[in-house]
């Protein structure tokens, strides 16, 4: 492999994992940090391993990152997750600037194509990949809108749904703005007009999407990896991310997505898993997907999957897929290292036949929050943080274990990711509980109240994993 230097444009545990992956691949790297993060372990690690280290004013400032890249003679940029990970303009800028860099992630056209939900839905439909029933284009005409809404209503009734619900959302919106649900079809017209006018005022586009509102589902993901040729994507199995906080933030992720051998489902679970991986690979081939990505699905209680969106980045929970996967004789896959390797242009070097999946992995997101109070974040100083090392446990954290740590409030709240592996579900559950029991997380906030964490919530939820 050519000698590359990777700018790690992120923070916290993902920056640490990317740093380690670079070290493993024998690549130079350079890290950035902001003033609030100066005590984060990713900074310590960068110092320890002798990489470049630059202080920036913000992880969001592309100009500053480019300046760091030039000053440190970096040749590639890894965006991690969040920040610039799914920003096609950043990817385009990185590759098209005068001193071009490699963007470790899909090419910007792919990010743009799959970043648009309508476009993704249309691509999926063009391949016969199942998507949520409803419109796949912005609707501008009131007659058409009413027609679609009525059809959706009839359709849900005839599929045995007693309380049909229709979602009306501004096609140019996002982040939960301009979305409303309609349960009474008689109310549709007024809701439609409200959303349309809202969209016209706020997004200068009165297009509206009308879809079925699906309730009672499991959230599944398919992990895809492909090299720059875009022709031969492989998958590393599925994940089930259905255990979430009340704000629909993931807390526990399990690989694989279902356990048909151990749990009875009302539908053909193995068939659904096979179906969604096949569909995901088909779409990846169609868009010539050329890096690591996650295909997000929802599966209803009667076993019908619908593609929701594609995350064109490495995800937090990639490790849980990595821990159950293997390539040829090697056990466990470092998906981040794979991402960097193919990102820099190396061919994948293996096919789906070389990939094996074994056992069950559980990832816990350990967060200082109060599940009893609507998962309200807790802010303060961590005094003590320890756990028992095990061969079946991987722990990723930016929190230092030998000194107190003030939780920064500017970033996402993950303190640590604990990933356990068991040869079957029972063993994994047992080990998961054992891990959570061994975990010590203590601290106090500014007024002396003890630290609150979600550990007991995670322990309670362990019993229910993979149950629909």
Partner 1 sequence: MIDVEKKLHRLNDRLAYIKDIFAGKQNEAVRMLQVRLDDFQARVAEMSAQERLSAISAMEELFTFMEQKLDEQLSPMDKVRIVRHPQRICLRDILENVYDNYTEIGGQDDKSIDPSMLIARAYITRRRGKALHNQPVMVIGQETGHGDEFRNGGSVKPWGNAKALQYMKVAEIENIPVHTFVFTPGSYPIEDYPGAAQQIARNLYEMAGLKVPIVAVFSEGGSGGAEAIGLADRRLMLSHGYYSVISPEGAAAIEGRLRDGTRAAPELIERCALQLKMTAQDNLRHGLIDQVVEEPPLGAKPYHYEFFQSLRNELMRATDEVVLTTRSFALLRGAISQPHRPKSLENYNAENFVTRWSLSTKARDRLVVLRQKKFRNLSNGRWIDPRTSFDLMLTKIQATSTDLLNLFRHDLWGRRKKQLGYAVEEMDAGARMLLHRIFNPFFSFTRELFGTKPRAKIAEELTTLSSWEEDGSKNGTWSYISSKAKEDRAVTCPNAAKYGCLDLWAPDLFGEFAGVCTHCGYHFPMGYKWFMYNVFDPGSIREFNQEIEATNPLNWDGFDAKLEQAKQKTGLKSGCITFEASINNTRMCVALLAASFRGGSVGVAEGEKFLSAIERAQRKRLPVLAYVHGTAGIRIQEGTNGVIQMPRCTIGVRRYIDAGGLYLVVYDTNSYAGPVASFLGCSPYQFAIRSTNLGFAGRGVIKETTGLDIPPDYHDAEKALSRGHIQGIWDRRDIRANLQQALVTMGGRNLYYK
- What is the rounded CA–CA span in Å between residue 355 and residue 361? 16
CA distance 78 to 261: 39
Q: Output DSSP code: residue 89.
A: H
Concerning whether 431 is annotated as a catalytic residue, the answer is: no
Q: Is 197 in the site for partner 1 (CB under 8 A)?
A: no
- How many Cβ atoms are within 10 Å of 239's Cβ, its own excluded? 27
Binding residue (CB under 8 A) for partner 1 from 131, 294, 321, 462: 131
- 448 backbone φψ class: left, alpha, beta (φ>0; ψ -120 to 50): left
Q: List the one residue from 155, 217, 267, 350 that touches partner 1 (CB under 8 A).
A: 155
402 touches partner 1 by CB under 8 A? no
Peptide bond into 256 cis (omega under 30): yes
Check binding of 98 to partner 1 (CB under 8 A).
Answer: yes
CB of 440 to partner 1, least distance (A): 41
**Which is nearer to partner 1, 60 or 193 (by Cβ)?**
60
Rg (CA), the chain: 23
Distance (Å, rounded) from C-alpha 63 to C-alpha 426?
Answer: 50
- In the bound state with partner 1, the residue whose beta carbon lies nearer, of 137 and 381, is 137
20-31 in b/e form (b: 16+ CB < 10 A) is bbbbebebbbbb
CB of 87 to partner 1, least distance (A): 11
The answer to the question of residue 60 lying near partner 1 (CB under 8 A) is: yes
**Could you say whether residue 97 binds partner 1 (CB under 8 A)?**
yes
Q: Are 280 and 120 in contact (CB under 8 A)?
A: no
How many residues can be counted in the chain? Answer: 468
By CB under 8 A, is residue 134 in contact with partner 1?
Answer: yes
Among 96, 190, 330, 449, binds partner 1 (CB under 8 A): 96
Taking a C-beta distance cutoff of 8 angstroms, is the pair 310, 294 a contact?
Answer: yes
146 near partner 1, judged by CB under 8 A: no
Shorter beta-carbon distance to partner 1: residue 122 or 328: 122
Is residue 366 classed as helix, strand or coil in its secondary structure? strand
3-class SS of residue 46 = helix
Asked whether the beta carbons of 166 and 135 are under 8 A apart, the reply is: no
Q: How far is the CB of 93 from partner 1 (least distance, A)?
A: 5
Q: Which is nearer to partner 1, 112 or 429 (CB)?
A: 112
Nearer to partner 1, 21 or 210 (CB): 210
Q: Which of 158, 266, 402, 447 binds partner 1 (CB under 8 A)?
A: 158
Q: Whose CA is closest to 396, among 387, 405, 404, 406? A: 387
Among residues 70, 146, 180, 205, the one that binds partner 1 under rule CB under 8 A: 205
| Collapsed DSSP state (helix, strand, coil) of residue 138 | coil
Sequence-ordered list of residues with C-beta below 8 angstroms from that of 187, at least 6 positions apart, any chain: none
Rounded to 5 degrees, φ, ψ at 430 are -60, -50
Contact region for partner 1 (CB under 8 A) — 146-154, 243-251, 369-377, 415-423? Answer: 146-154
Check 313, 341, 365, 431 and give the catalytic one: 313
Mark the segment that binds partner 1 (CB under 8 A) among 15-23, 56-64, 236-244, 383-391: 56-64
Among 50, 55, 126, 271, binds partner 1 (CB under 8 A): 126
**Residue 2 near partner 1 by CB under 8 A:** no
By CB under 8 A, residue 201 contacts partner 1 = no
Q: Is 130 in the site for partner 1 (CB under 8 A)?
A: yes
DSSP 8-state symbol, 35: G
> Whose Cβ is closer to partner 1: residue 23's or residue 95's?
95
Hey, CA dihedral for 41, 42, 46, 49, is it positive or negative?
A: positive
Does 302 help bind partner 1 (rule: CB under 8 A)? no
Residue 12 lies near partner 1 (rule: CB under 8 A): no
- Using CB under 8 A as the binding rule, whether residue 379 contacts partner 1 is answered as no
Task: Specify the stretch interacting with partner 1 by CB under 8 A; choose among 127-135, 288-296, 414-422, 458-466.
Answer: 127-135
Phi, psi of 66 (to 5 degrees): -65, -35
Binding site for partner 1 (CB under 8 A): 60-63, 66, 89, 92-93, 96-98, 116, 122, 125-126, 130-131, 133-137, 148, 151-152, 154-155, 158, 204-205, 212
Catalytic residues: 313
């Amino acid at each position: 492999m050519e000698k590359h230097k990777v700018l790690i444009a992120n923070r916290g545990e993902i920056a640490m994992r990317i740093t380690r992956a670079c070290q493993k691949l024998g690549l130079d790297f350079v890290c950035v940090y902001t003033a609030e993060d100066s005590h984060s372990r990713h900074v310590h690690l960068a110092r320890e391993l002798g990489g470049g280290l630059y202080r920036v004013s913000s992880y969001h400032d592309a100009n500053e990152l480019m300046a760091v890249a030039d000053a440190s003679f970096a040749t590639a940029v890894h965006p991690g997750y969040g920040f610039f990970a799914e920003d096609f303009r950043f990817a385009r800028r990185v590759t098209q600037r005068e001193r071009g860099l490699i963007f470790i992630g899909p090419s910007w056209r792919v990010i743009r194509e799959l970043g648009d939900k309508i476009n993704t839905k249309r691509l999926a439909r063009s391949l016969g990949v199942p998507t949520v029933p409803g419109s796949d284009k912005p609707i501008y005409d009131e007659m058409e809108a009413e027609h679609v809404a009525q059809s959706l209503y009839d359709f849900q009734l005839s599929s045995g749904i007693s309380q049909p619900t229709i979602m009306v959302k501004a096609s140019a919106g996002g982040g939960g703005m301009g979305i409303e649900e309609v349960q009474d079809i008689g109310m549709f017209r007024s809701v439609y007009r409200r959303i349309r006018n809202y969209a016209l005022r706020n997004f200068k586009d009165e297009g509206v999407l009308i879809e079925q509102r699906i309730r009672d589902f499991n959230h599944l993901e398919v992990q895809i990896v492909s090299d720059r040729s875009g022709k031969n994507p492989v998958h590393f199995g599925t994940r089930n991310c259905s255990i979430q906080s009340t704000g629909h933030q993931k807390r526990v992720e399990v690989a694989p997505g279902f356990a048909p051998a151990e749990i009875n489902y009302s539908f053909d679970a193995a068939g659904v898993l096979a179906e969604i991986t096949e569909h995901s690979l088909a779409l990846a081939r169609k868009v010539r997907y050329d890096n690591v990505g996650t295909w997000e699905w929802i599966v209803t209680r009667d076993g019908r999957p619908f593609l929701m969106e594609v995350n064109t980045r490495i995800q937090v929970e990639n490790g849980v897929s990595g821990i159950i996967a293997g390539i040829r004789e090697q056990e466990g896959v470092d998906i981040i290292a794979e991402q960097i390797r193919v990102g820099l242009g190396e061919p994948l070097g293996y096919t789906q036949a070389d990939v094996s999946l074994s056992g069950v992995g559980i990832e816990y997101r350990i967060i200082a929050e109060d599940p009893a109070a609507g998962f309200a974040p807790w802010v303060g100083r961590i005094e003590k943080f320890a756990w028992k090392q095990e061969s079946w446990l991987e722990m990723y954290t930016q929190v230092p274990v030998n000194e107190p740590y003030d939780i920064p409030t500017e970033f996402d709240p993950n303190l640590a990711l604990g990933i356990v592996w068991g040869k079957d579900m029972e063993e994994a559950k047992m080990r998961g509980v054992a891990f959570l029991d061994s975990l010590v997380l203590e601290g106090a906030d500014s007024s002396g109240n003890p630290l609150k964490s979600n550990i007991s919530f995670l322990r309670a939820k362990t019993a229910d994993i993979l149950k629909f």
